[in-house]
């Protein structure tokens, strides 16, 4: 019996329900793969905003086939548009993030009720962040990657060995979540416009100006401004410079990681601990 076996046994012996919340991102997917044979009683959940990328839905279908388990989708009736109406058309933002509460946290907490929950979270051993921890006393977080000391290269290996690989949107975007997530970097918005022009148009259609107030996804500019050819050229040029710097700094790194680092070099908010795992 190894120390790792002891850890798994200690999880399995805890009375209550065991849940992995999926976001459609690489870390929570790798966690599901990691847990599959260790704890067969795990329930897999996905809080659907109804505004995810088609690549995300397809990736979750492939994951479900790999797990040979259903992925329970919450929010069947009420997606993003319902809550946007409830909030009077006020778009969510990093400061007023009603979307995460209404579409991720509350549906999860309602679904589990007062049951004792062991909630497995895909924060890696090489990450400083602590992740979202529920304020409900019946929901207890467990961090398997931290307990097993697994970092980014282990996560990539898990994804490769399962045959799932990285989500295909990683070629142009680093995060799971809504198509129009306000945490996106400029380069990711350009990626959305180029890969999914109809979804970019939908995101643009949410933006309005009322009574002198701007309801934009980005503070500094509207999407109509961002999509101007000269602005797109500028964004791409900046991205190329950052990518080259990353390539020189870490020549052995896979391109996909360099693209991520180049996007991360923008000084936006880091993202959402719940939506972007
Ligand atoms: S992905 Fe972004 S927009 Fe969607 S719920 Fe999460 S924080 Fe909000």
Ligand 1, atom 8: closest residue by C-alpha: 99
Percent of the chain residues topping a pLDDT of 70 = 94
Question: Tens digits of per-residue pLDDT, 14-37?
Answer: 999 999 999 999 999 999 999 999
pLDDT of residue 269: 54
Q: Cβ(92) to ligand 1 under 6 A?
A: yes
Element (H, E) at 116: none
Ligand 1 centroid – CA 43 distance (Å): 23
Question: Tens digits of per-residue pLDDT, 162-221?
Answer: 999 999 998 889 889 999 999 998 999 999 999 999 999 999 999 998 888 889 999 889
Ligand 1 centroid – CA 189 distance (Å): 14
Give me the torsion for CA of 220, 224, 229, 230, rounded to 10°. -30
- The 3-state DSSP class for residue 46 equals strand
**Burial classification of residue 181, based on how many CB atoms lie within 10 Å of its CB (0-12 exposed, 13-18 middle, 19 or more buried):** buried
Average pLDDT over residues 96-102: 94
Ligand 1 centroid – CA 99 distance (Å): 6
Q: What is the pTM of this model?
A: 0.90
Average pLDDT over residues 38-66: 96
| Residue 247 phi, psi dihedral angles, 5° rounding | -60, -40
Q: Cβ(30) to ligand 1 under 6 A?
A: no
Question: Tens digits of per-residue pLDDT, 216-245?
Answer: 999 889 999 999 999 999 999 988 888 788
| Ligand 1 pocket: which of 183, 199, 206, 216 to mutate (most atoms within 8 A of CB) | 183
Q: 227 CB contacts (<8 Å, ≥6 apart)? A: 193, 200, 204
Average pLDDT over residues 241-253: 79
Q: Cβ(181) to ligand 1 under 6 A?
A: yes
Ligand 1, atom 2: closest residue by C-alpha: 181
Closest CA to 200 of 181, 183, 214: 181
Q: 186 CB contacts (<8 Å, ≥6 apart)? A: 226, 235, 238, 239, 266
Q: Cβ(177) to ligand 1 under 6 A?
A: yes
Ligand 1 centroid – CA 64 distance (Å): 23
What is the sign of the dihedral through the CA atoms of 107, 276, 271 and 194?
negative
**56 pLDDT tier (thresholds 50, 70, 90):** very high
Q: Cβ(271) to ligand 1 under 6 A?
A: no
| Residue 215 phi, psi dihedral angles, 5° rounding | -110, 85
- The 3-state DSSP class for residue 85 equals helix
Average pLDDT over residues 49-59: 96
| Residue 33 phi, psi dihedral angles, 5° rounding | -60, -45
Closest CA to 199 of 233, 165, 172: 172
DSSP letter at 169?
Answer: G
pLDDT of residue 230: 97
């Amino acid at each position: 019996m190894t120390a790792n076996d002891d850890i798994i046994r200690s999880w399995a012996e805890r009375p209550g329900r065991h849940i992995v919340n999926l976001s459609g991102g690489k870390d929570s997917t790798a966690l599901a793969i990691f847990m599959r044979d260790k704890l067969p009683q795990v329930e897999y959940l996905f809080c659907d905003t109804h505004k995810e990328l088609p690549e995300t839905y397809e990736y979750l279908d492939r994951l479900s086939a790999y797990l040979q388990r259903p992925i329970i989708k919450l929010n069947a009736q009420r997606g993003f548009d319902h809550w946007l109406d409830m909030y009077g058309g006020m778009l969510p933002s990093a400061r007023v993030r009603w979307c995460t509460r209404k579409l991720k946290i509350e549906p999860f907490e309602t679904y589990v009720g007062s049951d004792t929950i062991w909630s497995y979270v895909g924060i890696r051993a090489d990450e400083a962040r602590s992740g979202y921890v529920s304020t409900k006393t019946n929901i207890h977080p467990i961090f398997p990657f931290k307990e097993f000391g697994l970092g980014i290269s282990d996560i990539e290996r898990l994804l490769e060995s399962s045959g799932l690989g990285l989500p295909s949107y990683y070629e142009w975007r680093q995060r799971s979540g809504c198509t129009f997530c306000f945490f996106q970097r400029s380069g990711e918005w350009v990626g959305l416009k180029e890969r999914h022009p109809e979804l970019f148009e939908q995101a643009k259609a949410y933006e309005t100006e009322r009574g002198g107030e701007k309801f934009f996804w980005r503070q500094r500019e509207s999407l109509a401004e961002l999509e101007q050819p000269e602005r797109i050229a500028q964004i791409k040029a900046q991205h190329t410079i950052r990518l080259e710097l990353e390539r020189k700094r870490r020549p052995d790194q896979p391109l996909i990681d360099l693209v991520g680092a180049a996007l991360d070099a923008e000084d936006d908010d880091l993202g959402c601990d719940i939506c972007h795992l």
